Structure 1
Amino acid sequence: MFGVVLTACMIVMAVCLLVGLGAVIATSDELSRAVMADLVFYAMVAIYLVWTLMNDTMIAYEVAILAALVCGTIPTLSMARIISRGRR
Structure 2
Amino acid sequence: MSPFEWILAGCIAVMTVALVSGLVLILRTSDFLTRAVLSDLIFYAMLCIFLTWTLTHSTSIGYEVALLAAIAGGVLPTLSMARIISKGRR
Normalised to the residue count of structure 2, the TM-score between the two structures is: 0.94
2:79 partner letter: L
User: What is the aligned length?
Assistant: 88
- Looking at structure 1, the residues matched to 26 and 39 of structure 2 have their Cα atoms a distance apart, in angstroms, of 7
- Which stretches in structure 1 are left out of the alignment for 5+ residues? none
How many Å apart are 1:4 and its aligned residue? 0.5
The equivalent residue for 1:73 is 75
SS of corresponding position for 1:53: coil
- Aligned match of 1:44 in 39, 43, 46? 46
- Looking at structure 2, the residues matched to 28 and 70 of structure 1 have their Cα atoms a distance apart, in angstroms, of 26
How many Å apart are 1:56 and its aligned residue? 0.3
- Aligned match of 2:8 in 1, 6, 9? 6
Where does structure 1 differ by over 2 angstroms across 4 or more consecutive aligned residues? Answer: none
- Aligned match of 2:37 in 35, 48, 54? 35
User: Alignment RMSD, CA only?
Assistant: 0.7
- Looking at structure 2, the residues matched to 5 and 64 of structure 1 have their Cα atoms a distance apart, in angstroms, of 21
SS of corresponding position for 2:39: helix
Aligned-residue sequence identity (percent) comes to 57
- Looking at structure 2, the residues matched to 25 and 85 of structure 1 have their Cα atoms a distance apart, in angstroms, of 21
- Looking at structure 2, the residues matched to 55 and 85 of structure 1 have their Cα atoms a distance apart, in angstroms, of 43
- Looking at structure 2, the residues matched to 44 and 50 of structure 1 have their Cα atoms a distance apart, in angstroms, of 10
- Which stretches in structure 2 are left out of the alignment for 5+ residues? none
2:20 partner letter: L
